[in-house]
C-alpha cells in the first residue's frame, strides 16, 4: 500500500510537471531544438521552474515507491498522471470539463485497473544480480540512439513522438537504476553503500538526459504526439526491466487478451486527454470568457 500511495503521488507530480513544461517549451524557437541553449531559454520562465520543482517532488516519491514495491507494479500506475492532473486543473481553474475529458479519464483508469488485474505483477528481487546490467545498458543505448537519429531526420509531431518515446525509455531506465540503488540503502549498508553504488549516479545521469529529451519532444510537437508515447513507453519498458532484470513475474497465456485490451483503453484515453485545452495550457475560466465576449 505504501508503494501504491507514493506511486500515485508521483503520477500527480509528473503530470503537473508535463503540462507546465509544455507551456514553457512552446515559446522556444525551433532553432534551439536539440541544443543545450534550449535549457537556457527555459530557465528564464517561471512556469518551467515550477515544472522542475514538481519533477523533484516526483523523484522523491518515486524513490520511496520503488524501495517498497516491484517496479512492474509502481511504474504502470504512472499512466494516471495525465487524467488526474487535468481533473485537478479543471477544479482549480473552475473550468467545466467537457465530456471527452471524462471519457478519457475513465478509459485510462479502467485500462489501468484491467491491466493490473490481468497481469498481476509481483515477485522478483530488490536488486539486479551479476552482470545483468551490461546487456541491458547496451540494448538501451542502441534503442535510444536509433530513436534520436530518427527524430533528427524528421519534423513536427513525428519528431515529438520519437523523442517522447526516447524520454520514456530514459525514465524507465532511471526507475530501474533507482530501485537497484535504493535496495543498497535498505540492505543494511546504509547511506554509505548508497553513495558508493554506481547505480545512484547512473540514476542522476539517466534522469537528466531524459529530462532534456522530454523538453525537446515538447518543443517539437503537440502534447497529443508526446504524451501517449511517454506514458505508455515508460510503463511498458519499465515492466520489461522488471521482468528481465529483477525477475518479476506477469501472467501470460490467455491473460494477454485482456492485457492488450487494457493497453488499447489507456492509449485511447491518453490521446483524448492530450487534446484537451487544459493539457495544452490554453484553457480559460468561464469568467474570463465572459469578459472577453
12-21, 161-170, 267-276 — most confident range:
161-170
Nearest-angstrom CA–CA distance, 287 and 265: 34
User: How many CB atoms within 10 Å of residue 293?
Assistant: 5
Computed over every residue of the chain, the mean pLDDT equals 82
Q: What pLDDT is recorded for position 77?
A: 87
Q: Which of 61-65, 92-96, 182-186 has the lowest mean pLDDT?
A: 92-96
pLDDT of residue 210: 92
- Position 172 scores a pLDDT of 93
Alpha carbons within 13 A on the beta-carbon side of 7: 22
**Quick check: 293 pLDDT over 50?**
no
| Pairwise CA distance, residues 82 & 64, whole Å | 21
- 180/248 Cα distance (integer angstroms): 14
- Whole-angstrom distance, CA of residue 78 vs CA of residue 27: 27
Q: Cell digits for 157? A: 509531431
The pLDDT of 197-204, averaged and rounded, is: 91
The span from the CA of 77 to the CA of 287, in Å, is: 35
What is the rounded CA–CA span in Å between residue 127 and residue 116?
23
Reply yes or no on whether the pLDDT at 285 is more than 50.
no
**How far apart are the C-alpha atoms of 1 and 70, rounded to whole Å?**
12
Q: What is the mean predicted confidence (pLDDT) over 147-164?
A: 91
The SS3 of residue 122 is strand
| Per-residue pLDDT band at 286 (split at 50, 70, 90) | very low
Angle of CA points 282, 105, 233, to nearest 5°: 90
**Model confidence pLDDT, tens digit, residues 210-262:** 988 988 888 888 777 887 888 888 888 999 999 999 988 888 889 999 999 99
Helices (H), 26-132: 37-43, 46-68, 71-74, 81-93, 99-119
Contact 35, 216 (CB under 8 A): no
Amino acid at each position: 500500500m505504501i508503494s501504491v500511495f507514493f506511486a500515485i503521488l508521483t503520477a500527480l507530480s509528473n503530470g503537473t510537471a508535463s503540462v507546465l513544461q509544455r507551456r514553457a517549451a512552446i515559446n522556444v524557437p525551433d532553432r534551439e531544438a536539440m541544443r543545450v541553449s534550449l535549457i537556457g531559454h527555459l530557465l528564464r520562465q517561471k512556469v518551467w521552474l515550477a515544472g522542475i520543482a514538481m519533477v523533484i517532488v516526483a523523484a522523491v516519491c518515486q524513490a520511496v515507491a520503488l524501495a517498497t514495491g516491484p517496479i512492474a507494479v509502481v511504474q504502470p500506475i504512472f499512466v494516471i498522471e495525465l487524467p488526474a492532473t487535468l481533473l485537478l486543473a479543471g477544479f482549480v481553474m473552475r473550468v467545466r470539463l467537457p465530456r471527452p475529458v471524462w471519457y478519457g479519464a475513465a478509459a485510462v483508469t479502467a485500462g489501468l485497473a484491467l491491466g493490473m488485474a490481468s497481469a498481476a505483477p509481483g515477485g522478483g528481487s530488490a536488486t539486479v544480480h551479476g552482470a545483468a546490467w551490461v546487456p541491458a545498458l547496451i540494448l538501451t543505448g542502441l534503442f535510444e540512439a536509433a530513436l534520436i537519429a530518427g527524430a533528427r531526420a524528421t519534423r513536427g509531431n513525428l519528431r515529438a513522438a520519437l523523442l517522447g518515446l526516447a524520454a520514456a525509455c530514459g525514465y524507465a531506465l532511471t526507475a530501474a537504476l533507482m530501485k537497484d540503488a535504493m535496495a543498497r540503502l535498505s540492505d543494511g549498508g546504509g547511506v554509505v553503500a548508497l553513495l558508493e553504488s554506481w547505480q545512484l549516479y547512473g540514476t542522476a545521469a539517466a534522469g537528466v538526459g531524459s529530462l532534456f529529451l522530454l523538453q525537446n519532444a515538447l518543443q517539437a510537437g503537440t502534447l497529443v504526439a508526446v504524451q501517449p508515447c511517454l506514458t505508455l513507453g515508460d510503463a511498458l519498458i519499465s515492466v520489461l526491466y522488471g521482468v528481465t532484470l529483477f525477475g518479476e513475474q506477469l501472467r501470460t497465456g490467455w491473460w494477454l487478451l485482456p492485457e492488450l485490451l487494457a493497453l488499447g483503453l489507456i492509449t485511447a484515453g491518453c490521446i483524448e486527454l492530450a487534446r484537451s485545452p487544459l493539457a495544452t495550457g490554453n484553457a480559460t475560466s468561464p469568467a474570463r470568457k465572459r469578459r472577453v465576449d
